[in-house]
């Protein structure tokens, strides 16, 4: 969670997967308690190391940990009182889902934190026509688009998808056999077989859903599919095949069929030789180091200010952790240079933040390939009163006076000194 702000949502799927196999009766409550306590300890450590980021304590992830612990605590009471009224598995599943949804705003209320719903709005934007400034900042990026059509085609060519589907179906069959065998609470057994397989199958569903909605999250789906594919060797799942065909022969045959496309993919990747080079950015960073004071404060977009901080050690005012109560308002002020607001209004806000220099990137002004995703168009959703005016970044690229002074310029960047007058 420390280096990646979206880790909490992925860990939420892990908690959901673990609790699901508990509901199905594959692990006992003592194991779930241990796992949940480990997660809660991690949240506490991250809260401290992230300088008291209270938004982390009011996330759906933390809410799910609290609710799951609560369900485990009241389970004995439910069994004594209501077990004949409502099935235990239905009670636990419904309580976990509804409780997590209700607990998040309750935690926000207790801790006095604004109820940030970026991830919910992001999913809403993916499935409907909903849009606002924050969601457009994400959905306009290619990596946050839906999974491209070529991905499942590549999975098919390497036979990864067919093998995983076969494994998944085999696990589902085992799970249903277990459910039919354990129809009541008394029939549950501890440390049942296939629990780890059921966990990975449920986790695969979550990872696949995330990857379809957000393309970049393939980084979890693809390796997890490889893990699932390895279960083709399992005698527990495919013993009926290995009674007829030697397991070694069957597995080697599948690997041989997968290897053709796999080798071609490797050769394609190995053929890519090059290095990253950005001379305009190097010029910018060298100029900053040579011509500005050590305590000069810089503002700009998240990518360029991170480079300024790392390469020149100059202080910056923004940070890419959007899940913090302080960061989103700052981001809007910094990105208002690409809105249609007046130069005077933007300058006054930058001065209040203590900024000495603003780095203007002209590449953020022209239209991007995706319609409706230029920064001025994104701002039109947030700032309808100024829609139709010339973008401020366009004006600044021509002449930054009188509110700013251009002190550095090359093919990609302009450094605007914020006038104190």
Q: What is the pLDDT of residues 108-144, one digit of tens each?
A: 888 877 656 566 777 777 778 888 787 887 777 777 7
What are the DSSP calls for 12-35, one per residue? HHHHHHHHHHHHTTSS-HHHHHHH
Q: What is the pLDDT of residue 190?
A: 44
Nearest Cα neighbor of 18 from 55, 59, 69 is 69
Nearest Cα neighbor of 60 from 116, 136, 133 is 116
What residue spans of 247-389 are helical by DSSP H?
247-270, 279-291, 302-312, 327-335, 343-352, 375-382
Q: Which residue has the tokens 């688009």?
A: 145
pTM of the complete model: 0.81
State pLDDT tens for residues 132-178. 787 887 777 777 788 888 889 999 999 999 999 999 999 998 888 87
Compute the mean pLDDT over every residue in the chain, rounded to the nearest whole number: 85
417 Cβ contact partners less than 8 Å away, ≥ 6 residues apart: 356, 357, 404, 405, 406, 407
Q: Encoding tokens for residue 398?
A: 């021509």
* Mean pLDDT along residues 185-195: 54
**Do 189 and 212 form a contact (C-beta atoms < 8 A)?**
no
State pLDDT tens for residues 284-335. 999 999 999 999 999 998 889 999 999 999 999 987 665 566 677 788 888 8
**Do 280 and 411 form a contact (C-beta atoms < 8 A)?**
yes
pLDDT band, very low/low/confident/very high, at 369 (cuts 50, 70, 90): very low
Q: What is the pLDDT of residue 86?
A: 67
Nearest Cα neighbor of 91 from 106, 77, 105 is 77
State pLDDT tens for residues 200-219. 999 999 999 989 988 888 99
388 Cβ contact partners less than 8 Å away, ≥ 6 residues apart: 340
Q: How far apart are CA 350 and CA 333, in angstroms?
A: 7
Of the two residues 372 and 398, the one the predictor is more confident about is 398
| Number of Cβ atoms within 10 Å of the Cβ of 382 | 15
Q: What is the pLDDT of residue 55?
A: 77
Strand order in the sheet with 298-299: 298-299, 357-361, 413-418, 404-409
pLDDT of 82 > 80? The answer is no
- The secondary structure element, H or E, covering residue 238 is helix 235-242
Nearest Cα neighbor of 339 from 298, 302, 380 is 380
* Mean pLDDT along residues 231-243: 86
Q: What is the pLDDT of residue 189?
A: 46
Note every long-range contact of 228-234, with CB atoms under 8 Å and residues 24 or more positions apart, other chains counting. 228/164, 228/167, 228/168, 228/200, 228/201, 228/204, 229/160, 229/163, 229/164, 229/167, 231/167, 231/170, 231/171, 231/197, 231/200, 232/163, 232/166, 232/167, 234/167, 234/197
Nearest Cα neighbor of 24 from 73, 91, 82, 89 is 89
Q: What is the pLDDT of residue 370?
A: 52
State pLDDT tens for residues 3-36. 887 788 899 999 999 999 998 888 888 899 999 9
């Amino acid at each position: 969670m420390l280096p990646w702000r979206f880790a909490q949502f992925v860990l939420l799927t892990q908690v959901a997967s673990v609790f699901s196999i508990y509901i199905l009766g594959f692990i006992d409550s003592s194991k779930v308690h241990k796992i949940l306590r480990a997660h809660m300890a991690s949240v506490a450590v991250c809260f401290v190391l992230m300088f008291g980021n209270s938004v982390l304590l009011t996330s759906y992830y933390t809410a799910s940990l609290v609710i799951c612990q609560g369900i485990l605590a009241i389970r004995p009471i439910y069994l004594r009182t209501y077990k004949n009224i409502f099935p235990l598995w239905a009670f636990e599943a419904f309580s976990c889902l509804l409780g997590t949804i209700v607990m998040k705003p309750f935690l926000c209320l207790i801790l006095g934190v604004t109820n940030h719903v970026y991830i919910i709005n992001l999913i809403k934007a993916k499935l409907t026509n909903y849009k606002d400034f924050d969601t457009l900042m994400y959905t306009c990026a290619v990596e946050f688009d839906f999974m491209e059509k070529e991905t499942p085609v590549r999975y098919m060519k390497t036979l990864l998808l067919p093998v995983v589907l076969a494994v998944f179906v085999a696990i589902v069959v085992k799970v249903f056999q277990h459910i039919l065998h354990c129809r009541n609470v008394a029939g549950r057994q501890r440390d049942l077989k296939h629990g780890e397989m059921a966990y990975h199958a449920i986790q695969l569903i979550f990872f696949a859903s995330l990857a379809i909605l957000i393309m970049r999250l393939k980084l979890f789906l693809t390796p997890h599919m490889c893990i699932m594919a390895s279960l083709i060797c399992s005698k527990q799942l495919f013993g009926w095949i290995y009674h007829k065909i030697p397991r070694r022969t069957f597995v080697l045959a599948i690997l041989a069929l997968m290897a053709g496309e796999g080798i071609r993919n490797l050769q394609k990747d190995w053929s890519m030789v090059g290095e990253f080079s950005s001379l305009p950015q190097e010029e910018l960073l060298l100029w900053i180091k040579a011509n500005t004071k050590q305590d000069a404060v810089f503002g700009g977009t998240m990518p360029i200010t991170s480079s300024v901080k790392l390469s020149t050690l100059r202080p910056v005012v923004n940070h890419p952790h959007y899940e913090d109560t302080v960061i989103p308002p700052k981001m809007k002020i910094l990105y208002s240079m690409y809105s249609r607001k007046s130069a005077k209004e933007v300058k006054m806000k930058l001065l209040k933040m203590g900024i000495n220099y603003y780095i203007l990137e002209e590449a953020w002004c022209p239209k991007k390939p995706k319609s409706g995703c230029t920064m001025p168009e994104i701002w039109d959703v947030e700032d309808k009163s100024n829609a139709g005016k010339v973008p401020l970044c366009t004006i600044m690229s021509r002449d930054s006076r009188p509110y700013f002074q251009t002190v550095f310029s090359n093919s990609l960047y302009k450094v605007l000194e914020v006038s104190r007058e």
